[in-house]
């Protein structure tokens, strides 16, 4: 889906730092381009649907693309160096 993630420990996590229970999603780049709280919630729901097998990769990718296609991708049209 193009969202950067990494594994993180949760407060009071009983697992080790090498196999933590949590996951962190890097949304700073999206919010700086205008992603709203509502849109972030939609993406979160899609991630949950995908993780629980209620949606396919292709369906979720298409829905995320639809959500973010109108964000301010100001660098998209910059000339190549």
Q: Per residue in 9-51, pLDDT tens?
A: 888 888 888 888 888 887 777 788 888 889 889 988 998 998 8
Residue 11 within a domain:
yes
Residue 41 within a domain:
yes
Domain that holds residue 58: 4-68
Structural domain count, the chain: 1
Residue 74 within a domain:
no
pTM of the entire structure?
0.67
b/e burial code for range 55-70 (CB count within 10 A of at least 16 → b)? beeeebeebbeebbee
Residue 79 within a domain:
no
- pLDDT classification of 55: cutoffs 50, 70, 90: very high
Closest-CA residue to 46 (of 28, 67, 31): 67
């Amino acid at each position: 889906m193009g969202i950067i993630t990494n594994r993180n420990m949760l407060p009071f996590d009983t697992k080790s730092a090498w196999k933590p229970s949590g996951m962190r999603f890097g949304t700073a780049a999206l919010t700086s381009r205008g992603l709203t709280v509502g849109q972030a919630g939609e993406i979160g729901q899609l991630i949950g649907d995908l993780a629980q097998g209620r949606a396919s990769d292709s369906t979720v990718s298409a829905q995320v693309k639809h959500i973010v296609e109108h964000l301010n991708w100001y660098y998209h049209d910059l000339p190549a160096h």
